[in-house]
Amino acid sequence: MSDEQQHVEPEPRAWQPGDGPPWARGGRWNDKRWRDQRGRHPGFLFARFAAVFGLFALLTLGGFGLLIFFVVRLAGGDRQTAAILWLSTCGLLLLLPGTIAWLGRRAFRGIAKPLSSLMNAADAVAGGDLSVRVPAQGRGEFNQLMTSFNRMVEELELADQRRRNLTADVAHELRTPLQVIQGNLEGILDDVYAPTPEHIAATLDETRQLARLVEDLRVLSQAEAGQLPMTWEPVNVAELVADAQTSFAGQAEAREIALQVAIEGTADDLTISADYGRLDQILNNLLANALRHTPAGGTVTVRATPDDGGVQLLVADTGEGIPPADLPYVFDRFWRGDRARTHGAGAGSGLGLAIARQLVQAHGGEITVSSEVGRGTVFTITLPGAQPASE
């Protein structure tokens, strides 16, 4: 390695309060970064404010004293009277330093110091530090501004963490099917095994799994961004449930699980404005999840009832249940109760419940879950009767 490659010029550190003058650390007075930091230090803000306010006060009181002197002289007063009034006015100037100090202290505590903290925190956020927080200072609008800033940074930090988690989760989910596809193709090319229909079918299954994962990610990202296309129409939820029962009857019978449907109310009571395809996707995700976690001999029940002008849907199973510690995370993307479960073991992509929640929210509804280990799980969906107002 050459000397040029070994020698790296250290990046100058921005001036911080307490660092001392620039020359004490090898800096320069005309260093732009130091001047920017200096201009945002509370002491400099206070000094600038006090200087401007003091100059304004001096000019005002001085001009007022001279005005009194000339007015008294024009009114016919003698010099002694004018001098006394003028001296009395000028005497007020003796109170000016104390007044300025008192007002300046209040301004420093209520304006300059919180404003300086906010500007420094904003610089830190712009530099990528999302852990910075501004201590609550001042009253009224300033305190509200600090609270709003901290809430904004918390949301940015949470969004950044979600982005990192999503990247890691997607990479993890894509790795297994890609490795299977690569292994099968390399085995065929290396004559390890012949390109039989069985090997080709296994590879095709993995590509289909990848396609489903990509489609699920697309739907989820669009729903989270509020850009998911919706086709609003009158939907009879009773017909929706009946169609879902027909679709999953064969799968339930193969697993020796009883699939039951309970409908309450009339057709008019169970008709809402919704996207039929999205509601069908929600119900399919919940039913597939319920059947996956219900052992043979168990029961999965779908119930539809009117609810205050809307509809309430319940999907209940008698399966293994969800531990209380896992309940807050069941709607997170790529969450699985059994971390050791793989796609080949019958697990889904881990996006079904996350998509279901986003689609329910797109309808202006709410989805909740309750569960007891060893006794089963109940998902409850509440949907309004009318189309939600667009934001």
pLDDT tens per residue, range 110-149 = 666 677 777 888 888 888 888 888 877 656 677 788 888 8
DSSP secondary structure string for all residues of 149-205: HHHHHHHHHHHHHHHHHHHHHHHHHHHHHHHHHHHHHHHHHTTSS---HHHHHHHHH
**pLDDT band at 83; cut points 50, 70, 90:** low
Polymer length of the chain: 391
The CA–CA distances, whole Å, from 144 to 138, 139, 140 equal 9, 8, 6
Please give the Cα distance from 388 to 176 (Å, whole number): 40
The pLDDT value recorded for residue 47 is 64
**pLDDT band at 308; cut points 50, 70, 90:** confident
Q: Which domain, by its residues, includes 115?
A: 22-129
Does residue 253 sit in the same domain as residue 209? Answer: no
Does residue 178 sit in the same domain as residue 247? Answer: no
Residue with the larger pLDDT of the pair 4 and 249: 249
Q: Which residues pair with 366 in a beta bridge?
A: 382
Does residue 349 sit in the same domain as residue 254? Answer: yes
CATH label of the domain that carries residue 195: 1.10.287.130
Please give the Cα distance from 300 to 370 (Å, whole number): 15
Please give the Cα distance from 218 to 46 (Å, whole number): 52
Does residue 215 sit in the same domain as residue 266? Answer: no
355-375: average pLDDT: 92
In a domain? residue 337? yes
**CA nearest 57: which of 82, 86, 93?**
93
Name the percent of the chain lying above pLDDT 70.
Answer: 65
Does residue 336 sit in the same domain as residue 306? Answer: yes
- Of 224, 250, 269, which residue is a domain's last? 224
Question: Could you give the 3-state DSSP secondary structure of residue 66?
Answer: helix
**pLDDT band at 208; cut points 50, 70, 90:** confident
The tally of domains found in the chain comes to 3
- Of 106, 129, 152, which residue is a domain's last? 129
In a domain? residue 145? no
Does residue 32 sit in the same domain as residue 95? Answer: yes
Does residue 176 sit in the same domain as residue 240? Answer: no
Name the percent of the chain lying above pLDDT 90.
Answer: 27
In a domain? residue 264? yes
Question: Could you give the 3-state DSSP secondary structure of residue 147?
Answer: helix
Does residue 279 sit in the same domain as residue 346? Answer: yes
174-186: average pLDDT: 82
In a domain? residue 156? no
Instruction: Please give the mean pLDDT across all residues of the chain.
Output: 76
Does residue 119 sit in the same domain as residue 172? Answer: no
Does residue 242 sit in the same domain as residue 378? Answer: yes
The pLDDT value recorded for residue 209 is 78
